[in-house]
Amino acid sequence: MQGGGTPRPGAARPATAEPALRVILRRLREIMGEPGDGQSRLDRIVNQIAVLMVAEVSSIYVQRQDGSLELFATEGLRQPSVHQVHFKKGEGLVGRCAELAEPVNEPDAQNHPAFSYRPETGEEIYSSMLAVPILRAGQVLGVLTVQNRTRREYSDEDVEVLLTTAMVLAEHFSTGAVEGIAAPSEPRSAIGAVLSAQKLSEGLALGHIVLHQPRVVVRELLAEDPNEEAARLDAAMATLIGAIDRMLLRGDMARAGEHREVLESYRMFARDRGWLRRMKDAILAGLTAEAAVEKVQNKARATMMRQGDPFWRERVRDLDDLSDRLMRILAGQAGTAASLEALPEDAIVLARAMGAAELLDYDRSRLRGLIVEEASPQSHVAIVAKALGIAAVGQVRGVMERAEPGDEVVVDADTGEVHIRPSSDLILAYSEKARFRAARQEKYRALRDKPAVSRDGVPFSISINAGLLMDVDHLAQTNADGIGLFRTELQFMVSETFPRLDRQTKMYQAVMDGAGGKPVVFRALDIGGDKTLPYLRQPNEENPAIGWRAIRMALDRPGLFRTQVRALMRAASGRPLHLLIPMVSTVEEIDRLQMMIERERTLLMERGGTPPERLYVGAMIEVPSLLHDMDRLAQRVDFMSVGSNDLMQYLFAADRTNEKVAGRYDNLAVPALRVLRDIRRAADRLGVPVALCGEMAGHPVEAMALAGIGYRSISMSAAAVGPVKAMLMSLDVGRLEGVLASWLDEGGRAPGDMRAALVGFANDHGVSL
Ligand code: PEP
Ligand code: MG
């Protein structure tokens, strides 16, 4: 610990070399065993914390029902202010700590904008403050602080010691030992709540809350015998590793896939000596095995909060999951994860954080929706939720505190809302909406075997976009013509370690086998920008969307690209192979990549391998510079695919990941449609097949416009196939082409609102949107 403060009289650092945590825990245990009432114990506790942390002040604030924080005990602040000083919800640094539920470490607290000065405490003489939340089962019970006169940046060890002390305090509060402190689990209000959320996977779900792996509440924190606790931890660890090994041997896990990869990385983590060592250290300091697991987990989570880096976020999330599993084993509750219990028919799983593997553990037929408090659209669990086709939302602040198992809930991923315990009117309205959607889905399913031909006889090719092995099943479900875009980076994104040659080969082989002879367009790794790989360090860039990404990375790091091409060629072995190059900006890039591809083909043959029956190389049209070099591009590629998501962001200079600007420009506006039409015309003139695989192909109005400017081949998410096919089958393409020409041609009269005009056309001509 760092002793920056002027020691209080009698507050000298203990002379022994015994670790501070151990000393504090020993003292706490003694105090808990001493006679006296709850208040006097708290007084002794703050006194000891101040002494042992070489702080002039130590205080305990308790959270009241209205969310305010009351000063409950202090060493160093003026005693008459105890029970008199209250901070409103979120007020001051103490309120901020409770609101964020994370440590606040301020060397210059007085000058912090959130600082709220209370003259009655006499705290004007203290500069620095460290505040940590007193948490129990995810609920904030209060705040524990230390303060020093001098500017002192509290060390990580200080934070850790205070957090662990807060853990013990939380336990003490929950026993009801301190008068005036209510039991933490106050009955929740029956009145519902509406929380805003971020869409992870589209859809609407009504059902009942199932808590994902209800947290084990650690009851015993302080242990008598460290050796016994260490032995318990070792045994639990062995059980954990054994359980993961057995899961890997399960029949459904034999096939290479996302689930298997995640479990393999869990196995690696579980064997990590550092993790075990940190938990053993905590046991040596006097904690029980359970408390040691929780302490190391809390520390990792606190570290994560400070990291913006997705690499660390994913690492810590895995560790969190493993810690929960370990905790359940220690508590004798192994196997009680919600996924293994009988699920209700309409389960909406609620988790604080969740990994891809855990979601895959659930019985899909009973799973309606998913709410993950901390997940972002780029997280692995979001990618898997999309592949499973369940409504899912993330970034839902406070949902864990508000929802109870069994609560009725509505997840509306499309509007980004979660309704907890909704009123009966709301349930009725949503049930109606859900029924309507289900009926529509039924209608779309009936179209499965009908050819995608427009009302006036124009045939269309509809393919699906995919990225995970499990997506391949959608090909049979939709009866689409093929996979028009296989985003290979998704498998890299859900994998914890870099998939090497053999693993990649197996994955691609499984995808091709699963597609049963239908074409699969594999897109070379498109990472960078918003797509990050947990194990690949990428530089922090000012403008990642126009930074070092996709093929730019492949050109600088040929090993990455060449391994992927090698794996794809091996997987194809005698079958046709379609390889799509993302983010091409110049034709010279294609030349360089073609050379690498050629070298791989030669190498494969020299080694006696079978090359693909035919290799088709295509370019994504998503960087505007290519639009002015189409003839030279056409000489170099076998097909083109328009990536309208990126093309629009570059065309309108509007970051697709920035909500403030992403929806600002309509991709049905005149310039957008003219650009898309020019691409299609150039491709036709040059005799190169062109498809469009951006999100717009999956929206019926947009898909209708695409048909009207000449696109005949489109690729979309599997869920969009039905609605788009229904639209095409009801459309008179020839008539729309005429109308669009009159709007878009030079000298034409484009309506002010193209989208509204297109919807008007659909309504007037019976097009099913
Ligand atoms: C696109 O940019 O339109 C596209 C299909 O690729 P992605 O969304 O993966 O960037
Ligand atoms: Mg793109």
Contact between 360 and 384 (Cβ < 8 Å): yes
Element (H, E) at 72: strand 69-75
Cβ(504) to ligand 1 under 6 A? no
Percentage of the residues of the chain whose pLDDT score is greater than 70: 89
- Please classify residue 565 by burial: count the beta carbons closer than 10 Å to its beta carbon, then call 0-12 exposed, 13-18 middle and 19+ buried: buried
Contact residues for 160 (Cβ-Cβ < 8 A; gap 6+): 21, 295, 299
61, 102, 105, 161, 315 from 306: Cα distances, Å: 24, 10, 12, 18, 14
Which amino acid does the sequence have at 1? M
pLDDT digits (tens, 9 = 90+) for 345-372: 999 999 987 877 678 778 888 899 999 9
- Which is higher by pLDDT, 648 or 4? 648
Under the banding of pLDDT at 50, 70 and 90, the label for residue 185 is very low
Lowest mean pLDDT among 8-17, 467-476, 668-677, 751-760: 8-17
pLDDT digits (tens, 9 = 90+) for 467-497: 988 889 899 999 999 999 999 988 887 776 7
Show the DSSP H helices in 557-669 as ranges: 558-572, 587-606, 630-634, 644-651, 659-662
Cα of 525 vs centre of ligand 1, distance in Å, is: 12
Cα of 623 vs centre of ligand 2, distance in Å, is: 9
Structure confidence at residue 119 (pLDDT) = 85
Under the banding of pLDDT at 50, 70 and 90, the label for residue 9 is very low
Please state the rounded mean pLDDT for residues 111-118.
Answer: 82
Q: Inform me whether the pLDDT recorded for 10 exceeds 50.
A: no
pLDDT digits (tens, 9 = 90+) for 217-241: 777 888 889 999 999 999 999 999 8
Token pair for residue 171?
């336990």
Cα of 544 vs centre of ligand 1, distance in Å, is: 15
Token pair for residue 378?
């780029």
Under the banding of pLDDT at 50, 70 and 90, the label for residue 98 is confident
- The span from the CA of 35 to the CA of 116, in Å, is 36
Task: Map residue 44 onto helix, strand or coil.
Answer: helix
Q: Inform me whether the pLDDT recorded for 86 exceeds 90.
A: yes
User: Ligand 1: which residue has its CA nearest to atom 4?
Assistant: 643
Percentage of the residues of the chain whose pLDDT score is greater than 90: 51
Cβ(644) to ligand 1 under 6 A? yes
> Can you give the length of the chain in residues?
769
Structure confidence at residue 3 (pLDDT) = 38
Cβ(646) to ligand 1 under 6 A? yes
Task: Map residue 580 onto helix, strand or coil.
Answer: strand
Quick one: how many helices (H) and strands (E) in the chain? 27, 22
- Which is higher by pLDDT, 429 or 686? 686
Ligand nearest to the CA of 530: 1
Most confident of the ranges 331-340, 520-529, 736-745: 736-745
Structure confidence at residue 470 (pLDDT) = 83
Torsion, Cα of 409, 414, 417, 418 (10° steps): 20
User: Ligand 1: which residue has its CA nearest to atom 6?
Assistant: 643
- The span from the CA of 693 to the CA of 47, in Å, is 66
Structure confidence at residue 255 (pLDDT) = 55
pLDDT digits (tens, 9 = 90+) for 542-552: 888 888 888 99
Cβ(643) to ligand 1 under 6 A? yes
For 142, list phi and psi in degrees, rounded to 5. Answer: 175, -165
Tell me how crowded residue 616 is: count the other CB atoms within 10 A of its CB.
16
Q: Which atom of ligand 1 is nearest to the CA of 644?
A: 3
Lowest mean pLDDT among 320-329, 705-714, 719-728: 320-329
- The span from the CA of 407 to the CA of 614, in Å, is 56
- Which is higher by pLDDT, 294 or 564? 564
Most confident of the ranges 268-272, 322-326, 463-467: 463-467
- Which is higher by pLDDT, 332 or 2? 332
Task: Report how far Cα 147 is from the mean position of its chain's Cα atoms.
Answer: 36
Cβ(525) to ligand 1 under 6 A? no
- The span from the CA of 96 to the CA of 93, in Å, is 5
Structure confidence at residue 183 (pLDDT) = 52
Ligand nearest to the CA of 465: 1
Contact between 38 and 60 (Cβ < 8 Å): no
Most confident of the ranges 80-89, 426-435, 702-711: 702-711
Q: Inform me whether the pLDDT recorded for 693 exceeds 80.
A: yes
Cα of 646 vs centre of ligand 1, distance in Å, is: 6
SS (H, E, C) 464-495: EEECCHHHHHHHHHHCCCCEEEEECHHHHHHC
Please state the rounded mean pLDDT for residues 276-301.
Answer: 88
Angle at 243 between CA 239 and CA 246, to 5 degrees: 135
Structure confidence at residue 307 (pLDDT) = 60
Q: Which atom of ligand 1 is nearest to the CA of 582?
A: 6
Token pair for residue 714?
């489109």
pLDDT digits (tens, 9 = 90+) for 622-660: 999 999 999 999 999 999 999 999 999 999 998 887 767
Structure confidence at residue 379 (pLDDT) = 73
Structure confidence at residue 32 (pLDDT) = 82
Element (H, E) at 286: none
Lowest mean pLDDT among 56-65, 196-205, 263-272: 263-272
Q: Inform me whether the pLDDT recorded for 534 exceeds 70.
A: no
For 199, list phi and psi in degrees, rounded to 5. Answer: -70, 130
Tell me which DSSP letter residue 175 carries.
T
Under the banding of pLDDT at 50, 70 and 90, the label for residue 103 is confident
pLDDT digits (tens, 9 = 90+) for 377-423: 767 788 788 888 899 999 888 787 788 888 999 999 989 999 999 98
